Amino acid sequence: MTTTAVALDDNDACIAQARQLAADFLDNARTDHGVAVSGRAVDLTRLVVSELVTNARKYAPGPLWMELRLADGAVEVTVRDSARVRPAARPGDPGRVGQHGLEIVMAVAEAFHVRLEPSGKSVTARIALADDTVGGTRRADAPPGPR
């Protein structure tokens, strides 16, 4: 299994459902397909899923779809919703309480992109499966941030 997609319920329980689906997907990749997946990758994927699904629930009416895909040593998390508005990270403000989710996603993801579609948008974040890989990607002891 290298890809899975699911329609998420239109209620707050879908956030926990999406996190569990992501953890199960990566566990299945590890145990059934021999893919090396670090514990850190599972935790970061659950965090990213939580933030992307929460934002979609908060700002987009209607149904949500989530897709998880393994590709080239990473998991790509895509959340589709019905709002044709690009999310934007707010400028850093140490006094601001909350609304840091997109900043966090962008800091921990290898790549992040938004694609407007006829019926809404898709937001994709790519998370490395290994803590220490070759080719310039972040080591486990490296600080998060853009590459």
Q: Under a CB-based contact definition with an 8 Å cutoff, are residues 115 and 78 in contact?
A: no
Q: How far is CA 49 from the centre of its chain?
A: 4
The per-residue pLDDT of the chain, averaged, comes to 87
pTM of the model: 0.84
pLDDT tens-digit series, residues 75-103: 999 999 999 999 887 777 778 777 778 88
pLDDT category of residue 127 using cuts at 50, 70 and 90: very high
What mean pLDDT is predicted for residues 107-132? 94
Confidence (pLDDT) at 96: 73
Residues of the chain with pLDDT > 90, as a percent, come to: 67
Q: Is the pLDDT of residue 28 over 60?
A: yes
